[in-house]
């Protein structure tokens, strides 16, 4: 078997971090890894320190109501498709894995045309358009949620969980005189959450509060806060493993990567799904996590106005504090996704 693997992902931190985690697992077993990604901000930012070969492709989405834009994107994707074929012919990988994002479309189609085995990872509770289409040609489809909307149930499906950073670990939630709250809204921040926190820090709290808040690139600001609050802003968080252990309560969006990391960290979580997520998948992600009932999860209705969202977050924080809901209720549906996917792909390729 050729110990050379290609992994495609782009667009969001969830997709790219899953790809990086998988790449790390294959590299530990002696594989050489080639990454295909896009040309958006995070495609450069998150891959910049990776020592593997990374190719940036100018692929475009195929969701548009404007027929001219749709036609233009189809043409651009055709050129990307041809360039990927050329790259794959030069050094033929044993398999190609798609970890999410529309860059996976031309990449996996090119691999399939060349007779290379292709696999997709669907991280969300609702499959995106690219994965809906790619699931029809994939050798196997790895799912994060058993009840994934948009993917036909058949023998190709494997419930594998979602690849996450290996440094993310569970530790006991130690309470102290201050309540430590970690706030993040995805890799680029979240205005809805940022605006709610801006109001939260001006409130009077019954206990001391320490907030570390990832606001996103270009969103740093000077806020006046009440006397019993320590408040820190960060554009981006590079030490999530340490921060998960530090936090008593987490406020976040509900992307697939976040959901998977919360399953491991098992901290009381207040989730505000992104209102404009494709097919509303973040809402379904959050609801699936809450159903698992392994730690405190409160899903905030993002359709409410800012004042109501801020009040709901405030009430949820107080509920955790007053009822001492810091400890996990039970084990989560947490799987070692990197191990499962690695073993499945390697065994499949050998056969």
Average pLDDT over residues 280-308: 93
Indicate if the pLDDT at residue 235 is higher than 90. no
Give the chain's mean pLDDT: 90
Question: What is the pTM (predicted TM-score) of this model?
Answer: 0.79
Q: How many CB atoms lie within 10 A of CB 148?
A: 23
* Fold that domain 4-161+335-350 belongs to in CATH: Rossmann fold (3.40.50)
Segment 301-327 mean pLDDT: 95
Domain boundaries, the chain: 4-161+335-350, 178-323
| 62-78 residue pLDDT tens | 777 778 888 888 888 89
Rounded to an integer, what distance in angstroms lies between the CA atom of residue 339 and that of residue 31? 14
In this chain, the answer to whether the domains covering 4-161+335-350 and 178-323 adopt an identical fold is yes
Which residues sit opposite 149 in a β-bridge? 126
The structure tokens listed for 44 are: 């450069």
Please say if the pLDDT value at position 182 is more than 90.
yes
Q: Is the pLDDT of residue 48 over 90?
A: no
From 59-68, 126-135, 189-198, 336-345, the region with the lowest mean pLDDT? 59-68
Cα 278 from Cα 165, distance rounded (Å): 24
Phi–psi pair at 179, nearest 5 degrees: -95, 120
Q: Give residue-wise pLDDT tens across range 14-29.
A: 899 899 999 999 999 9
More confident residue, 283 or 218: 283
Inform me whether the pLDDT recorded for 249 exceeds 90: yes
CATH T-level assignment (fold) for domain 178-323 = Rossmann fold (3.40.50)
Q: How close are the terminal C-alpha atoms of the chain, in Å?
A: 10
Q: What number is the average pLDDT over the span 181-202?
A: 87
Q: How confident is the model at residue 124 (pLDDT cuts 50, 70, 90)?
A: confident
Q: What is the pLDDT of residue 186?
A: 66
């Amino acid at each position: 078997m050729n110990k050379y693997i290609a992994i495609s992902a782009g667009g969001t931190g969830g997709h790219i971090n899953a790809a990086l985690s998988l790449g790390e697992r294959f590299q530990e077993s002696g594989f050489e890894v080639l990454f295909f990604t896009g040309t958006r901000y995070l495609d450069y930012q998150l891959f910049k320190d990776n020592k593997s070969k990374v190719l940036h492709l100018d692929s475009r989405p195929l969701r548009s109501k404007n027929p001219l834009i749709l036609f233009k994107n189809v043409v651009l994707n055709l050129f990307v498709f041809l360039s990927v074929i050329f790259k794959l012919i030069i050094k033929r990988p044993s398999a190609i894995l798609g970890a999410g994002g529309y860059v996976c479309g031309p990449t996996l189609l090119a691999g399939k045309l060349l007779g290379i085995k292709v696999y997709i990872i669907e991280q969300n509770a609702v499959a995106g358009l690219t994965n809906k289409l790619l699931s029809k040609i994939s050798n196997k489809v790895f799912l994060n949620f058993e009840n994934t909307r948009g993917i036909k149930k058949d023998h190709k499906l494997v419930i594998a969980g979602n690849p996450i950073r290996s440094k993310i670990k569970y530790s006991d939630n130690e309470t102290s005189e201050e309540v430590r709250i970690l706030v993040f809204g995805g890799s680029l921040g979240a205005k809805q959450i940022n605006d709610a926190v801006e109001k939260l820090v001006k409130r009077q709290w019954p206990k001391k509060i320490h907030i570390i808040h990832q606001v996103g690139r270009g969103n740093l600001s000077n806020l006046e806060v009440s006397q019993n609050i320590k408040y820190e802003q960060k554009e981006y968080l590079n030490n999530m493993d340490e921060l998960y252990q530090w936090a008593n309560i987490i406020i976040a969006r509900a992307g697939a990567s976040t959901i998977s990391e919360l399953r491991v960290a098992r901290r009381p979580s207040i989730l505000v799904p992104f209102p404009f997520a494709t097919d509303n998948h973040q809402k379904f992600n959050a609801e699936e996590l809450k159903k698992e009932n392994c730690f405190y999860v409160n899903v905030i209705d993002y359709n409410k106005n800012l004042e109501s969202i801020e009040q709901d977050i405030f009430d949820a924080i107080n509920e955790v504090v007053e009822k001492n809901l810091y400890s996990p209720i039970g084990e989560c549906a947490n799987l070692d996704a990197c191990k499962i996917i690695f073993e499945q792909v390697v065994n499949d390729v050998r056969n």
